[in-house]
Chain A
Amino acid sequence: AQSVSQHNHHVILSEAASLELGCNYSYGGTVNLFWYVQYPGQHLQLLLKYFSEDPLVKGIKGFEAEFIKSKFSFNLRKPSVQWSDTAEYFCAVTMNTGFQKLVFGTGTRLLVSP
């Protein structure tokens, strides 16, 4: 069965610090990879996605993620975080066949202090 691991459960950063959130998945086949974000009091929304194109994916609000197939990883990065990036971040994977049910990691709570 597929699974997703997010190594950091809580991260605290100061504004302007760089961010990297780890995500590893277990599945031997072709996958689609996602990062979702949930801002306080809001819905889950898509931050970025990898669908078998350039392994370096750029998303909204200056976020990017790199798919490294050999490491089964899809880490999220942002060079300089802002207070408004405070949120919970979820990595997710779908198999590239059939319907696209998402398998999520446990999430990382990011707190950015001003």
Chain B
Amino acid sequence: GAGVSQSPRYKVAKRGQDVALRCDPISGHVSLFWYQQALGQGPEFLTYFQNEAQLDKSGLPSDRFFAERPEGSVSTLKIQRTQQEDSAVYLCASSFSSGSSEQFFGPGTRLTVL
């Protein structure tokens, strides 16, 4: 079956622009995570959804970052007024439940802010 998909795969933005990154999780997966991976680093947690509820957003670096999952399926990560330090790969992962289950990762969106 289809895995986690993300779009766009690559995004170049000028500093100050708003961007929206989309994640399509595996059908039926309850949990959805966003991670940010800076160059040369491991992924870092941004936010977590259980169905449509955003249960943890402690990893969002600033109030310019906003995520939603209105119908409990597709999720969008929005970054307002992008800055150069926002340049990173943004990874989405989904899992079947909120408990101990494997997270399946998408290919990521590479964001470059000029």
Contact = CB atoms under 8 A, between A and B. Distances in A.
A62 B45 CA distance: 29
A99 B48 contact: yes
Interface stretch (B19-27, B72-80, B92-100): B92-100
B43 to A, nearest CB: 5
A44 B99 contact: no
Interface string A89-114: 01010101011111111110000000
B2 interface: no
Nearest to A94: B100
B50 A99 contact: yes
Contacts of A36: 105
Nearest to B59: A101
Contacts of A83: none
Interface of A: 4, 32, 36, 42-46, 49, 51, 90, 92, 94, 96, 98-107
